[in-house]
């Protein structure tokens, strides 16, 4: 069974440019998460989707970040415009339905973003 | 929100040694996972263990939910065990709607 797929694996852009990350979750997983991992830290949640609905986006910086999960499968996370402080690894994870948070989460390989 | 503390922050061992990594959390949880982040950044699931004890080869884990801690045991360490080990919990009290991670234990296994 294929795991969580993310692309691109690496992205280097100049500040003020837009950037987008794509994620395809494990087949059958209704819940999709985007996390951001800064150097030397653990991942931190940005947004959670149940099917196509964003049920928790309280940690997403809405002035420049946006996300969508059309048709409840693939998801795209966008930053526009990027700032130097956005340099990090962006991780996508998926799980079965998250009622009570009791389901195991599986992570993709991440996209390493460098903003110059 | 829930706090997750991992210890030790860094650990250097010789190949063949055993180690114990600890994870303390500040509130009740209904999901606890241990991950190994390899040098390429991939988070590899080790255990899904909200309570009890599990074993997988040279690795085992125990979570005592009533006392709010979990332990990861690595026996007969190999150089491929090097990397960062993360504990992550899901707050059953209605906090952040995803996993809350500790800062990790950076393990180096020397040949």
pLDDT single digits (tens) A36-62: 999 999 999 999 998 888 887 888 888
Mean of per-residue pLDDT scores for chain B:
93
Q: Is B96's CB within 8 Å of A112's CB?
A: no
**Segment A86-106 mean pLDDT:** 84
B-interface mutation test, from A39, A42, A57, most B Cβ less than 10 A away? A42
pLDDT of the residue at B53: 97
Which chain B positions have a beta carbon within 8 Å of A114's beta carbon? none
**Segment B81-105 mean pLDDT:** 85
Q: What is the 3-state secondary structure (H, E, C) of chain B?
A: CCCEEEECCEEEEECCCCEEEEEEECCCEEEEEEEEECCCCCEEEEEECCCEEEEECCEEEEEEHHHCEEEEEECCCCHHHCEEEEEEEEECCCCCCCCEECCCEEEEEEC
**Segment B15-20 mean pLDDT:** 97
Q: Which of A91, A100, A105 sits opposite B30 (nearest CB)?
A: A100
pLDDT of the residue at A57: 82
């Amino acid at each position: 069974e294929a795991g969580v797929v993310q692309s691109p694996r690496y992205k280097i852009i100049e500040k003020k440019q837009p950037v987008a990350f794509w994620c395809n979750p494990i087949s059958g997983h209704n819940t999709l998460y985007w996390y951001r991992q800064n150097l030397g830290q653990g991942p931190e949640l940005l947004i959670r989707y149940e099917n196509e609905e964003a049920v928790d986006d309280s940690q997403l910086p809405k002035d420049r970040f946006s996300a969508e999960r059309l048709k409840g499968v693939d998801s795209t996370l966008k930053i526009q415009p990027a700032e130097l402080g956005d340099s990090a690894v962006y991780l996508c994870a998926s799980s079965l339905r998250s009622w009570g948070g009791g389901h195991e989460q599986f992570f993709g390989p991440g996209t390493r973003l460098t903003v110059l | 929100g829930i706090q997750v503390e991992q210890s030790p922050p860094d650990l250097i061992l010789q190949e063949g040694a055993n180690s114990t990594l600890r994870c303390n959390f500040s509130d009740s949880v209904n999901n606890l996972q241990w991950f190994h982040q390899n040098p390429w950044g991939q988070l590899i699931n080790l255990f899904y263990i909200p309570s009890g004890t599990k074993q997988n080869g040279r690795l085992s884990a125990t979570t005592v939910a009533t006392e709010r801690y979990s332990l990861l045991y690595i026996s007969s360490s190999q150089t491929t065990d090097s990397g960062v080990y993360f504990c992550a919990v899901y707050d059953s009290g209605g906090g952040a709607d995803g996993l809350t991670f500790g800062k990790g234990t950076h393990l180096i296994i020397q040949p």
